[in-house]
Amino acid sequence: MMSKMPLLRLQQVSRRFVMGEVTVQALKETSLEIYPGELLVILGPSGSGKSTLLNIIGGMDAPSTGDLFFAGENLSRANEARLTRYRREQVGFVFQFYNLISDLTARENVELAAHLVTDPLPVDEVLREVGLINRQHHFPSQLSGGEQQRVAIARAAVKKPQLLLCDEPTGALDQQTGRRILDLLSRINRRYGSTVVIVTHNTVIGRLAQRTVRMGSGSILEIAVNPSPLPPERIDW
């Protein structure tokens, strides 16, 4: 895997937030390569820069300094139109609190995402994959947290994104439901070959990954290869 060309490469990327007199260095000069098809978990305590890093990877935020390459293309030099296309076509994003559209049904939320790309997966297939075909006509408010998160994953996965980025996807869920979400993410990784990046403060989730990145105070402290990733059902927290 490591000998392949990286799908994504961050080169000395930093991000500062300036608020009046105060500057927060959310991400110090950080370099990282993410390989096609891998499942990577980014770990670190709250405030360590995980979301900042993920937002930059997903083209939702721009680095203050440094470069971001996707399939060899320097996205930190790209214009807004190219970045929009990157977010729309190459990236699927899953948030801790789902961010579904409340007046669309589960199915309509997924269909809306499918319309954004030229070659989506069939909506029925994805709804079946996430186990929600029977709840497809329900609105988010009629679904449990775990079900809403599965809709959010279906919405991201239907685009067949090369990169599936998940920010604390199990953070609002109980352990059993969280495990089901992790199982779904690892199935999408294997079945569709999407590169999956999961950000979490929960270190045991790292046992699922092929590689883990540990962050602290805006820096990568360690990158570790996991020779035998565990299946989600064997992970306890």
Question: Where do contacts with ligand ADP occur on this chain (CB under 6 A)?
Answer: 17, 19, 24, 26, 44, 46-52
Kindly state the tokens that stand for 120: 């989506």
Cβ–Cβ under 8 Å, residues 235 and 179: yes
Give dist(CA 30, CA 65) in Å, integer: 10
Q: Which does 44 bind (CB under 5 to 8 A by kind): ligand ADP, Mg ion, none?
A: ligand ADP
Give exposure, 31-41, as e/b (b: 16+ Cβ within 10 Å): ebbbbbbbbbb
- Closer residue to Mg ion in complex, CB, 128/201: 201
Kindly report the number of other CB atoms within 10 A of residue 152's CB atom. 28
Whichever of 121 and 182 has its CB closer to Mg ion, that residue is 182
| Pairing verdict, β 163-167 and 195-200 | parallel
- Minimum distance from residue 196 beta carbon to ligand ADP (Å): 18
Beta-strand pair 65-70/211-216:
unpaired
Q: At its nearest, how many Å lie between Mg ion and the CB of residue 67?
A: 23
Q: Which does 97 bind (CB under 5 to 8 A by kind): ligand ADP, Mg ion, none?
A: none
Please say which residue, 51 or 189, places its beta carbon nearer to Mg ion.
51
Nearer to Mg ion, 51 or 186 (CB): 51
Binding to Mg ion in span 23-62, by CB under 5 A: 51
Strand pairing of 211-216 and 219-225? antiparallel
17 binds, among ligand ADP, Mg ion, none (CB under 5 to 8 A by kind): ligand ADP
Distance separating alpha carbons of residues 139 and 104, to the nearest angstrom:
6
Shortest distance in whole angstroms from residue 49 CB to ligand ADP: 4
Contact footprint for Mg ion (CB under 5 A): 51
